[in-house]
Structure 1
């Protein structure tokens, strides 16, 4: 008779006795079924698949699609299901999951198919649905990396082979779904039957894979209205492919070959050209419709501040006099900050800004008055005055940066004809491999971890504990307005995660395994292990990346 062990199940709020070797899936059966099935579970604050077997007393917490961890499991499982369906219908063709698109979907292409029709979409969706209905098991096997590499080479997965060759390990994990193999950077559901809601629609040269929203798991958004964002992703995707660095395997190979400096120069030159183009566009708008202000918005750690400063330089070259204002300086004092649904400070809410004072200052500046702009101290949580008043003249143009820049409620007293709107985000276009994209949120999180530690006195635990709230705030207050932008800018640099790795690793390792944030720190550390570090020596002092790692020639 097997030994009995005690397991603390946080979903039940009590202990349960289970035989040693019991898989998580069996423990889940003891719980009252919720509206959505459990996809995985945290075991001692580490995310594990439902096949994981318990051999010692542990604390477990099951997650479904409504959690950030659960939605990632659902998405990865859907990608594997899609890979299998493409293999069945288009043998020998390569599937590319290019980038995120819409509320919770992904733009995909199949190499060799220039026009993906409605009939193609119906066939592919039908095959996926058939595979889901069959509830095929998804298995994971730990095996020698040499064997995994051989399987990849046999399947023609040159992208995965390149990553294995540049980050060698003795053992690797291999997932199998029927006759299809894959590798994923995180947990999957036990079988295809867990992916019940999805849709495929033709989109440009490929198709749009629609998946449920974390906040609305029964909802699919089939009509994508994000043409500007799609254009930015496509532009940068085409460029990194042209430069020969579409995946991390190629970036690592170039780094090992001693070409890190060359990659830095290429990426920074690309940024320089984009800033010059945006400045030209703004100058034309000043002449043609008399704009008085540029509003720069974007989610956390998009590089808005440095972008505003670099744009100001380009506008100065064209004869304009940029005047900078940061919305962060108009935060109310910390104790006056509105609270979110969990009772935590909601810094992403528009009401965290002193709108009355901000709009009063705008009106006075437009009238030609001199205004003392406040400064916000993130360490003390207090707004302070400083003796550097701003005044506009006939050549002046206001540059206002902050997450709410595109929200019409921010500047109701200024006519739309006098505004030029820019949306900036870190649209990460370099992928881990053809099927595993790098989430832009992960890229931004690495930036924020590094910056918060350096500039705001926050350790990794503090930043990670607030990240879910930050993301909820972005979904509510920023993303709905992004297509209002006149132009979009991609602040990502294809080499940057390789530079951020040593900075972020040091602080992520300080997160203890006794807190819920431990799994996220562990996940990010495993993710960073795929990148060959690049030293920051050759990064110019005006680079957006300097905003986060230090050494910038700009004052913040």
Structure 2
């Protein structure tokens, strides 16, 4: 018999060897309102069909948990793939990127898709769910899996597995349909309770439940600019002939890593130069842009972007001057409190909005001001003694999480402002059915930077990440579509470069802490990439902000 400790109810109970996680869930008589979809076994996420042969600590997860939602979503994707395969034997579907709180998919047919196609796909998906078909996990030699996917014409998966360097691998079967997913699935299709699929521009949008309230779908939000950025970078990837990690690994193994670095860096510089030209030439015959507002989530590379943009603005004859929002904090005793009674420094209202706007207005009216300086030791704002007046060629650069919030500069004329949203929008996929979350890209950047420059462990960074993302959801993401320009700071090759930095840091996360499950997942994810050395990265690269070796001062 086994001893199983259940973290959901803090009880220990005996079970026969070889019991599945689902057997154990039922044996504890747990009643999770939204049902289990996966579980952490000694802090590693496993599917509910996982069999247990030794004593374990187990925590069952539902879709309110990020890992649980990933399990639910992967399973829903497989159902979509099967529905398309049955309806359109000569067609296929690619899951491309998150947008509008759903997931954008491209249906590859020899014609454009119509509303009747969407209706048919949704009905077929519902039939598959109603039939409650089991997901089968099959483990085999990687060579066998590669041969199987090759025979089926699924070369994206064959390339990924062939370049992974793994002796054994696994794939999933759903009836006659096979597919590959790099994490667990639910036991059967009947576990999927809520979804929707709608026509979205030239493709489809797969909609999922809201994590906080799984009985409702995520609210559909319009993100035309975000979609355009993703599609622009996908077009670039297609020109390079690299759409998936398998393509990328093969190119690197064939000696093209330096070419990919050079082209990716050049494309970013071209985009920055284009934004600088837009700022310079906007309203040249009237009110010119005097204030550039740059916002974006954590580890998006805002600081390096603002420095590179400043260089491009200087080549256009402008004099950029950085303004720090940190110097406009209210005195610490006036800082708003969060729900836990702690100072909420992420809040917009931690800033002295009226004072900030008054100073901006004076500057834009041609008056001289004295810039403030916030003393973080005393928690007080002080006079800095630094005077500033905007001359004919000066342009202010303001970077911060609230930069795009309309409440920051409500009375500054729109003609005087240019708003930029920066984020690491990963555009390469593991394969056609496994996208790479943009948050994973940013989290890996932050883990490396925190470890190298802030003396934080990966465990500490991972533990805070959910709170960081909650702040982004509240203060950054609602305003991203207000931007005049969106800049994608992700680089095609970067996860292959981050790999050698991140892996040793992630391996230090101990197995007995909650962050281990995320560290383990990220390590498994990075294993799909070949390593690329950073010696070819230019000193102005956005990645240098996180890895070191930058020619910019931070």
Q: TM-score range by the shorter chain?
A: over 0.9
1:402 aligned partner: 400
Q: Of residues 90, 107, 131 in structure 2, which corresponds to 1:134?
A: 131
Q: Matches of 1:341 and 1:148 in 2, distance apart?
A: 50
Q: Of residues 471, 474, 484 in structure 1, which corresponds to 2:472?
A: 474
- Give the deviation of 1:223 after TM superposition: 4.7
* Alpha-carbon spacing, 1:479–1:216, altered in 2? closer, same or farther (3 Å): farther
Q: Matches of 1:453 and 1:18 in 2, distance apart?
A: 41
**How many residues are matched?**
550
CA offset digits 1:252-308 (Å, max 9, x no partner): 111111111111110011111111111111122252443321111111111111111
Q: Of residues 497, 512, 519 in structure 2, which corresponds to 1:499?
A: 497
SS at 1:371's partner residue? strand
Q: Of residues 161, 176, 181 in structure 1, which corresponds to 2:158?
A: 161
- Give the deviation of 1:372 after TM superposition: 3.8
2:194 matches 1:200:
no
* Alpha-carbon spacing, 1:374–1:208, altered in 2? closer, same or farther (3 Å): same
Q: TM-score, normalised by structure 2?
A: 0.93
* Alpha-carbon spacing, 1:147–1:222, altered in 2? closer, same or farther (3 Å): same
- Give the deviation of 1:212 after TM superposition: 1.5
Q: Matches of 2:305 and 2:392 in 1, distance apart?
A: 23
Alignment of 1:153-232 (within 5 A): 153-221=150-218, 223-232=220-229
Q: Matches of 1:382 and 1:256 in 2, distance apart?
A: 53
2:257 matches 1:260:
yes
Alignment of 1:499-538 (within 5 A): 499-538=497-536
SS at 2:370's partner residue? coil
* Alpha-carbon spacing, 1:278–1:512, altered in 2? closer, same or farther (3 Å): same
2:412 aligned partner: 414
Alignment of 1:22-421 (within 5 A): 22-29=19-26, 30-103=28-101, 105-221=102-218, 223-287=220-284, 288-328=286-326, 340-341=338-339, 347-353=345-351, 355=353, 358-359=356-357, 361-363=359-361, 365-366=363-364, 367-372=366-371, 374=373, 390-421=388-419
Q: Matches of 2:182 and 2:460 in 1, distance apart?
A: 25
- Give the deviation of 1:229 after TM superposition: 0.6
CA offset digits 1:503-534 (Å, max 9, x no partner): 11121111111110001001101111111111
Q: Matches of 1:249 and 1:40 in 2, distance apart?
A: 28
- Give the deviation of 1:330 after TM superposition: 5.0
5+ long unaligned stretches in structure 2: none
2:15 aligned partner: 18
Q: Matches of 2:389 and 2:249 in 1, distance apart?
A: 49
Q: Matches of 2:340 and 2:116 in 1, distance apart?
A: 46
- Give the deviation of 1:382 after TM superposition: 7.0
Q: Matches of 1:72 and 1:354 in 2, distance apart?
A: 40
Q: Matches of 2:462 and 2:336 in 1, distance apart?
A: 20
- Give the deviation of 1:331 after TM superposition: 5.8
* Alpha-carbon spacing, 1:304–1:375, altered in 2? closer, same or farther (3 Å): farther
Q: 79-88 or 163-172, which moves further after superposition?
A: 163-172
Q: TM-score, normalised by structure 1?
A: 0.93
For the aligned residues, what is the CA RMSD?
2.4
* Alpha-carbon spacing, 1:339–1:317, altered in 2? closer, same or farther (3 Å): same
5+ long unaligned stretches in structure 1: none
Q: Matches of 1:408 and 1:79 in 2, distance apart?
A: 37
Q: Matches of 2:119 and 2:242 in 1, distance apart?
A: 33
Q: Matches of 2:547 and 2:233 in 1, distance apart?
A: 23
Q: Matches of 2:94 and 2:184 in 1, distance apart?
A: 20
Q: 105-114 or 474-483, which moves further after superposition?
A: 105-114
SS at 1:542's partner residue? coil
Q: Matches of 2:126 and 2:70 in 1, distance apart?
A: 20
